[in-house]
Amino acid sequence: MRIIVMGQQAFGKDALATILDAGTDEVVAVYCEPDKDGKPVDPIKEFALEKGLPVHQPAKFGDRVTLDTLASHDADLMIMAFVNLFVPEAARDTPKLGSICFHPSLLPLHRGPSAVNWPIIMGATKSGYSWFYPSDGLDEGDSLLQWECGIDPNDTVINLYFKKIYPSAVDSVLEVCDLFRSGNPPRIVPDESQATYERRCTKKHAKIDWNKPVGQVHNLIRGTDPSPGAWTTVNGDELGIFDSVRTAGDGVSSKIVAISDDGITIQAIGGRVLVKRVRPAGGDKQMAADWAASKGLAVGDMLGT
């Protein structure tokens, strides 16, 4: 098949590399976002140029020139691997077999831009990814295939995405090609009654309320690790919170109940959270115990103040 790969960053690059390494299909063009002033060249663009592939970077896909250029590649399929730009139907339907898009959740759950963060924050025990037939709606459309994985009690965004979802998703791009090549790619119709939409997870969502149940506090910390990063305050100064473990114990919420080489332990409702790493405002991440010592913190001091 003749394939257009549309994507960005590491996932787009690795999906492209996987297709090229397999050698079964011909990549006729690569599309990625326009360059940003002061930012490094997107890895997928850099890699595509190294391979001598045509690279296009339209800011939008609605004008005639862009659509004509897309059509000139005479593609069979467009694979959309990590795409932030809106791609209208006229562009999606230009390849003979249309387009297929990647999303890091079990659609129709967690439609939206922070699909890896929210399942962890909400305490879900499973996640995965979907390749779906995109429509004009946000992550809406039938799925071609889905892959499921468990979310362990201490999984962070890094663990869930980069260690579980990412490697399987990159490999699955060849299965996507095979399913279209078969001539009868499946369609999994979503149960719209189960659909959820979440906004982008930002700093305002990542503020810790120590007067919440310990499970919610722990889930928020790991569901925003590494980005946007959970945070609290100490004597009015912001403090980023990372790498936590849920522990047992009762006491006054937001109080430091232990300081050890492992980190600092803070009380929440119904349990405690051991925090191993922190990031002071304007500084770098460091071991929580070292930071506590540098600030002269002691058992009984309060966070969130």
**181 and 103 within one domain:** yes
Residue at 92 is within a domain:
yes
Supply the DSSP string of 176-203, one letter for each residue.
Answer: HHHHHHTT----B---GGG--B-PPP-G
Half-sphere CA count of 133, side-chain side, radius 13 A: 16
Q: Token digits for 160? A: 């869930």
Tens-level pLDDT at each residue, the chain (305 residues): 999 999 999 999 999 999 999 999 999 999 999 999 888 999 999 999 999 999 999 999 989 999 999 999 999 999 999 998 899 999 999 999 999 999 999 999 999 999 999 999 999 999 999 999 999 999 999 999 999 999 999 999 999 999 999 999 999 999 999 999 999 999 999 999 999 999 999 999 999 999 999 999 999 999 999 999 999 999 899 999 999 999 999 999 999 999 999 999 999 999 999 999 999 998 999 999 999 999 999 999 999 97
Alpha carbon separation from 74 to 177, 217, 262, 265 (Å, rounded): 16, 51, 58, 60
Same domain, 190 and 207: no
260 and 139 share a domain? no
pTM of this prediction exceeds 0.85 = yes
CATH of residue 28: 3.40.50.170
State which of 129, 159, 194 marks the end of a domain.
194
174 and 236 part of one domain: no
Residues 31 and 180 reside in one and the same domain: yes
Residues 108 and 129 in one domain: yes
302 in any annotated domain: no
**Packing angle of the helix pair 43-50, 9-22 (nearest 10 deg):** 30
Both 188 and 208 in one domain: the answer is no
Specify if 305 maps to a domain: no
CA distances from 150 to 23, 121, 165 (A): 32, 14, 10
For residues 38 and 96, state if they share a domain.
yes
Same domain assignment for residues 150 and 228:
no
Domain count, the chain: 2
By the 8 A CB rule, do 8 and 33 touch?
yes
Per-residue pLDDT, 139: 96
Question: Taking each helix axis from N to C terminus, what angle separates 166-181 and 9-22, rounded to the nearest 10 degrees?
Answer: 50
| Pairing between β-strand 286-287 and β-strand 271-280 as defined by DSSP bridges | antiparallel
Sort 287 into a burial class: Cβ within 10 Å, 0-12 / 13-18 / 19+: middle
Decide which of 152, 170, 194 is a domain's last residue: 194
187 and 47 in one domain? yes
What distance in Å separates the CA atoms of residue 265 and residue 95, rounded to the nearest whole number? 56
**Owning domain of residue 164:** 2-194
Q: Does one domain contain both 28 and 98?
A: yes
The predicted structure's pLDDT at residue 305: 78
Residues 19 and 137 occupy one common structural domain = yes
User: Can you tell me which residue has the tokens 């339209």?
Assistant: 58
* Confidence (pLDDT) at 121: 98
Is 211 a member of any domain? yes
- Beta-sheet pairing, 230-234 with 237-247: antiparallel
Last residue of some domain: 127, 162, 194?
Answer: 194
Q: How does strand 271-280 pair with strand 237-247?
A: antiparallel
CB atoms within 10 A of CB 257: 17
Give the model's pLDDT for residue 264: 97
CA 175 to chain centre: 21
Please report the pLDDT score of residue 62 as a whole number.
Answer: 85
- The tokens describing 130, both together, are 């979907």
Residue 262's CATH number: 3.10.25.10
Side-chain-side CA neighbours of 173 within 13 Å: the count stands at: 35
